[in-house]
Amino acid sequence: MEQADTDRNADLLSFTELGLPEGVQRAINELEFTSCTAVQSQVLPFSLSQHDVCAQANTGTGKTAAFLTTILSQHIEFPLDRENPIGFPRALVLAPTRELTMQIKQDMNALSKYTNIRSLAVVGGKRVKEQRDELTKRRIEVVVATPGRLLDFMGQSILDLSRVEILVIDEADRMLDMGFIPDVRRIVRQTPERRRRQTMFFSATFNDDVRRLIDQWMFEPIRIEIPSESIAADSIDQRFWIVGRDEKRRILYEFMKKCSPSRTLIFVNRRSEVKKVLKSLQKRKVRCEGLSGDMPQRKRTAALNRFKRGETRHIVATDVAGRGLHVEGITHVVNYDLPDIAEDYVHRIGRTGRAGAEGISISFVSESDGFVLPELEELLGHKVNCTPPNFERI
C-alpha cells in the first residue's frame, strides 16, 4: 500500500491523534504511515464518528486506507453480541474493476493483519468456486466486490446484504462511465436503508450525476472536496508535445529509444489502440505488454504481476484496465491520447511521482486531442504550454 507524501503540509493529522484500535494502529505503524494525507485528515475524524462521508478523491490520495481504517475500527469498537450467520457481511466495498478490487483487498490484508476480521474479494473471471466456498463455509465480515459478481452470488442466495453496517462506493464516477449504476442501485436496495447504515462515497469528480447519487444514497453526508491543485503532485514534471496524429507511434518509439525510461505506463483511449501501439513497439523490439478490458482476467493479472516484478518495464493500457494499477517506481506516464474527460488526466499522471519521488508525464497533443485542453487548463489552474517533442533531460 502506498501513502502519498505529506511532508509539505504540517497541518495534517497524525494517525496517533485518531485513537485507533491497537491492532489497526500496529499495522499502520508497520506500514510506516505517520501523517495522514489530505483526504485522510478530512475524512477520518467524521467517518470514525459514524458520519456518512462523500469525498472527491483520486487513486493515490490515500482514500483506500481512509475507508478501510474506518471499517476495521468500527468492527473492533462495536462488536456484535452474536455473530452474523454465514453469508451476512457487516461491510461492503463496491469498486468498478477487478484490478481495483484486488488492490483494495491487498490493502485490507495489510491493515487487518493484527485483527481477526475476515475479508474476501468477490470478482468475476477469477476463482469463482473458491470464492463461493469461502462465502458458504466461513463468516466473512468485509466483502470487496465488483457489481456483476456480487449480484451473481446474491441471486444464488449465497450473500445477503440486509445486515451491512458500512457501505463504501469507490470511484463512483467510473461506475457511471462504465454503465454499472443500474447494478449498483439493485445492490444498494438490498442493504439497510440509508439511516440505518454508514455510507462512504468516493469519486474523482462531483458532477451532477454523482451529486444525484449522493442525495439518493446518503444521509446528511459530510462533503469533502480536495482542490485539484493539491491532487496534481508537484513532483511530476508535466510536458505536452505537439504531435501529428499519424506521427504518434514514431514519436513514442523515438522516446523509448532515446530516453530509455525505466518503467513506463502508456495510456490510450480505446481498446483497439492498445493492440496497435503494442504491435508497433514490439515490431521495433521494444519489450512491452498491454492491459485492456477485453483481455481475459488471467492474462491481465499475469501481465500486471510481471510489471510489478519489473519483468515487464512498459505497459500500454486503457483507463478502465489501468484502474487499481498501483506499482512502485513508475518513472514516466505517457498520454498517447489525451483523455476524453479532463479529470482522468490527473488520475493518469498520478501513477508517477508518488511518495515524494520525481516523475515525468508526457502528453501527445494532436489535432484530435486539442478539444480537451481548455477544460484541462481550467482543472490544473494554469495554461498548458505545448511544445515540439524534446528528448533531452528526460
- Check whether residue 85 and residue 181 sit in a common domain: yes
For the ranges 3-12, 308-317, 340-349, 375-384, which has the lowest average pLDDT? 3-12
162 domain residue, yes or no: yes
Q: How many residues in the chain? A: 394
- Report the C-alpha gap between 391 and 94 in whole angstroms: 42
Residue 242 covered by a domain = yes
More reliable by pLDDT, 198 or 377: 198
Give the position of cell 530509455: 260
The yes-or-no verdict on residue 235 having pLDDT over 90 is no
Residue 35: per-residue pLDDT: 84
Last residue of a domain, one of 207, 226, 245: 226
Predicted confidence at residue 325, as pLDDT, reads: 65
Is the domain of 186 the same as that of 91? yes
Does any domain span residue 266? Answer: yes
Residues 113 and 136 occupy one common structural domain: yes
Determine the angle formed by the axes of helices 38-47 and 63-77, rounding to 10 degrees. 20
- Residue-wise pLDDT tens digits, 362-374: 999 998 887 888 8
pLDDT of residue 6: 38
**Whether pLDDT at 356 is above 50:** yes
The angle subtended at Cα 351 by Cα 345 and Cα 352, nearest 5°, is 105
**pLDDT confidence bin for 354, thresholds 50/70/90:** low
pLDDT for 266 equals 96
Instruction: Name the residue range of residue 336's domain.
Output: 231-387
256 and 193 assigned to the same domain: no
Question: How far is 295 from 208, CA to CA, in rounded Å?
Answer: 32
Q: In the predicted model, is pLDDT for residue 332 greater than 70? A: yes
Q: Give me 86's grid cell.
A: 454465514
For residue 280, the one-letter residue type is S
* C-beta separation of 61 from 38 below 8 A: yes
Convert the pLDDT of each residue in 139-154 to its tens digit. Answer: 999 999 999 999 999 9
Query: Are 187 and 254 within one domain?
Result: no
Cell digits of residue 10: 504540517
Quick check: 336 pLDDT over 50? yes
User: Looking at residues 238-245, what average pLDDT do you find?
Assistant: 93
Question: What is the rounded CA–CA span in Å between residue 232 and residue 319?
Answer: 17
pLDDT at 383 over 80: yes
pLDDT of amino acid 232: 53
Together in a domain, 240 and 220: no
- For residue 11, the model assigns a pLDDT of 66
Q: Is the pLDDT of residue 385 over 50?
A: yes
Residue-level pLDDT at 4: 46
Could you say which of 226, 258, 277 is where a domain stops? 226
Q: Identify the helix (H) or strand (E) that includes residue 242.
A: strand 236-242
pLDDT tens-digit map of 252-310: 999 999 999 999 999 999 888 999 999 999 999 999 999 887 777 678 778 888 988 88
Q: How far is CA 168 from CA 70, 79, 180, 218, 389, in A?
A: 10, 19, 15, 11, 43
Q: Do 118 and 154 share a structural domain?
A: yes
Mention every residue, 6+ apart, whose C-beta is less than 8 A from residue 272: none
Q: Which of 181, 207, 226 is the last residue of a domain?
A: 226
Alpha-carbon gap, residue 55 to 37, rounded angstroms: 13
**Domains held by the chain: number:** 2
Task: Tell which phi-psi region holds residue 167, choosing left (phi > 0), alpha (psi between -120 and 50) or beta.
Answer: beta
With 60 as the cut, is the pLDDT of residue 311 above it?
Answer: yes
**Per-chain mean pLDDT for the chain:** 88
pLDDT: which is higher, 13 or 393: 13
**Cβ partners under 8 Å of residue 321, min gap 6:** 97, 99, 291, 292, 293, 295, 300
Could you tell me the pLDDT band of residue 9, with boundaries at 50, 70 and 90?
Answer: very low
Instruction: Give a yes or no: residue 392 inside a domain.
Output: no
Q: Is the pTM of this model over 0.75?
A: no
Q: Are 375 and 259 contained in the same domain?
A: yes
Higher pLDDT, 12 or 92: 92
The dihedral sign for the CA sequence 100, 102, 106, 111? positive
Give per-residue burial for 265-292: e unless 16+ CB within 10 Å, then b: bbbbbebebbeebbebbeeeebebbbbb
Indicate if the pLDDT at residue 327 is higher than 90: no
Phi-psi region of 87 (alpha: psi -120 to 50; beta: other; left: phi over 0): left
The closest of 167, 143, 166 to 75, measured between CA atoms, is: 166
Percent pLDDT > 70 in the chain is: 91
Residues 56 and 200 in one domain: yes
311 lies in a domain?
yes
User: How confident is the model over 179-231, as pLDDT tens digits?
Assistant: 899 999 999 999 999 999 999 999 887 888 889 999 999 999 999 987 654 44
pLDDT at residue number 10: 42
- In CATH, what number is assigned to the domain containing residue 359? 3.40.50.300
Same domain membership, residue 67 and residue 24: yes
Beta-sheet strand order (sheet of 236-242):
289-291, 314-317, 264-267, 332-335, 359-365, 236-242, 386-387
Identify the pLDDT of residue 7.
38
